[in-house]
Structure 1
């Protein structure tokens, strides 16, 4: 799907406030409500974006965020990533070039839960050569906004 200026304006308004009504967006960007509805539905269908609730982990009892780099045996990266997808505490998994083959982001209630995840859950997964755990000390930015508003 090729996005045009109107699509980007709609996305910017939704990024500012995901609860904005179609009529409110239409009024602000000077198009019809039907145009906004049709464009949003098409972008949703084409998976340009999705509506999600972004929770504050600290407010729901997840006080430890960790970025964990994994070195894996050749040929087992996909297998390991598939196993990690089943863990509730894992929010993100990505394959990377460089020092780590996989990098995961996880949220945990406390340090004990993180240690248990590493020593019990990761230790059971065949093909993990090494684990590099980095605990977040202070957060400066956390956003899912990719376009200027």
Structure 2
């Protein structure tokens, strides 16, 4: 008899691959990259006192285990995106997993999180115009079965944006 694979319960996402404990070298790599994401492997190796090959293998593992992501962070308001903000979606619990998958497929939603606020999902968006916002809300989000209500907040200005929070093990 074939054993059936259990589906995750509603509201549960699959965890990233299990990672081993971060050591002092991992934490130092993360700290240096949070300050300068363009720092070379050679410079990282020099500052930490390890080989460049060790830097490369450590970074590959941190990226593979979804502990670290090295990207360029831009300011969407200065790139011509006139409408930047967030949505709070109040959803029916039994539809949560499907709703999360549908939201993931919307390119203008760049950050999606499940929250502790009842059965709510928060998402941040970057759009060029109010017409694009209307289309997102009325043509995409409103048509997702199980979304009870949405609240939209527009960002006027970035007052503080930091990415150098270190690690929880500091």
- TM bucket normalised to smaller: 0.7 to 0.9
Alignment partner of 1:61 out of 63, 80, 90? 80
The offset of 1:32, in angstroms, is 2.8
Partners of 1:33 and 1:74 lie apart in 2 by: 48
The offset of 1:100, in angstroms, is 5.6
Q: Is residue 6 of structure 1 aligned with residue 25 of structure 2?
A: yes
Q: 1:48 is matched with which residue?
A: 67
Residues 89-118 of structure 1: CA deviation (Å, up to 9, x unaligned): 101111112256111111111222112211
The 1:86–1:46 alpha-carbon spacing in structure 2 relative to 1, beyond 3 Å, is closer
Does structure 1 conserve the Cα–Cα contact (< 8 Å) formed by 2:85 and 2:154?
yes
Does structure 1 conserve the Cα–Cα contact (< 8 Å) formed by 2:85 and 2:153?
yes
Q: Structure 2 unaligned runs (5+)?
A: 1-19
Secondary structure of the corresponding residue to residue 8 of structure 1? helix
Alignment partner of 1:97 out of 110, 116, 135? 116
After superposing on structure 2, the runs of 4+ consecutive aligned residues of structure 1 that deviate more than 3 Å are none
Q: Is residue 81 of structure 1 aligned with residue 104 of structure 2?
A: no
TM norm structure 1: 0.86
TM norm structure 2: 0.77
Partners of 1:3 and 1:42 lie apart in 2 by: 11
The offset of 1:40, in angstroms, is 2.0
- When you count helix as a share of all residues, which structure comes out higher? 1
